[in-house]
Amino acid sequence: MSAQNTSYLKQLDGIRFIAVSLVLIDHWSDEKLKLPLGFLGVCLFFVLSGFLITRILLNAKDKDEALNRSHGFSLKQFFIRRTIRIFPVYYLTILILYILNVPPVRDKIVWCLTYSTNIYIAIYESWLGVIDHLWSLAVEEQFYLFFPFVIFFIPSRYLVRVLFGFIGLSILLRLVLYLNGVAWMASYVLMPTCLDAFGMGGLLAYFFYHKNEKVKAFVTNKVWIGVSVLLYTGVIMLSKWVSEGQSIITIVFLRIFESFLSLFLVGNAAYNFGGIMKGILENKLSIYIGRISYGIYIYHNFIYNFYHSSPNHPTIRLLNKLPIIANHLPLKFFFLYAITIGIASISWFLIEKPINHWKEKFGY
């Protein structure tokens, strides 16, 4: 059962493709779009991370107990494997940006090196230009630092309650921050305020791992999938009606509905979508983009960002020479996507994939 429950799930790479594409659309489109697609894309990544990490750790815990060994072994293996996957490209990027003196990397180098740019944004209520997007990687890393201890050292019979507690705690924290007049970005970027997304993914993984047929029936029920879409759409429409800017709806409640929708997307991909979604998620290009999505996410902001790229940016100078592409948003998106895939592919084959092979030496 353990081997089956941790087997490769092809459609989840397709989910990564959807998540990273939502972020790119948001960062590369002009202000007229005014849809929080980037919010949804990041939340989808968080739910997916919660699902995958919980699934891995549950399997490792079972192996530890079956072999009568300390959980310290699996903790060590987990952190080594995460380090191999995450650190090389991240720190190489920071090093290059530092050498090239790309603002604000040198000024904020300690925050970058310690995966705490999200904390900087929350404390100083200020974004960080071309390295804005690194906040979500900081959130993921901070989650990885404590969550394995939750899985390994809290009795399994309490885990579902703890994960539901994550959801309630994050909503409560966002509400407290809102009522105390704290800037909206703090509620958005702090790790504890993102725990509802990770909690949703964790709950899905728990029931998926233990083969709960009732949960499978719920997650794959078309009516509930439709409800999740309607709830998310309704919250977006209500938030626009209340205010064009940030409001209690977007600050406190939007992420829970994003997480709920993401739960069904990830869940159905885990149990294998059929129909049109199966074709999208199992398309070879979707799977490939999903596989290299970490590099795409890291590099895309440096290739172009509607909000931060200066007029002298090489990509903007290139677009100025191609007015047909520059003035046509879909063409511009595909053009930028092609460049980003090219750079992420080089990174994947020259750096990430060779280094990832080292993980084989640190199995559970």
Per-residue pLDDT of the chain (364 residues; tens, 9 = 90+): 344 455 789 999 999 999 999 999 999 987 667 788 999 999 999 999 999 999 999 999 999 999 999 999 999 999 999 999 999 999 999 999 999 999 999 999 999 999 999 999 999 999 999 999 999 999 999 999 999 999 999 998 999 999 999 999 999 999 999 999 999 999 999 999 999 999 999 999 999 999 989 999 999 999 999 999 999 999 999 998 988 788 999 999 999 999 999 999 999 999 999 899 999 999 999 999 999 999 999 999 999 988 888 888 899 999 999 999 988 889 999 999 999 999 999 999 999 999 999 998 998 8
Matching residue, tokens 């049109």: 276
Q: Is 183 helix (H, G, I), strand (E, B) or coil?
A: coil
* CA 231 and chain centroid, separation: 21
Kindly tell me the burial class for residue 224, based on how many C-beta atoms sit within 10 Å of its own C-beta (0-12, 13-18, 19 or more).
middle
Range(s) of the domain holding residue 23: 2-362
Cα separation, 251 vs 245, in Å, equals 10
Which two tokens mark 24? 């790119």
Instruction: Quote the pTM value.
Output: 0.95
Number of domains within the chain: 1
Which two tokens mark 117? 């740019």
Cα separation, 39 vs 267, in Å, equals 19
Q: Which residues 6+ apart lie within 8 Å of 12 measured at CB? A: 48, 52, 266, 269, 270, 290
pLDDT for the residue 254: 96
269: amino acid identity, one letter = A
Task: Name the H helices within 154-253.
Answer: 159-179, 184-189, 195-209, 213-219, 222-242, 248
DSSP 31: T
pLDDT for the residue 6: 58
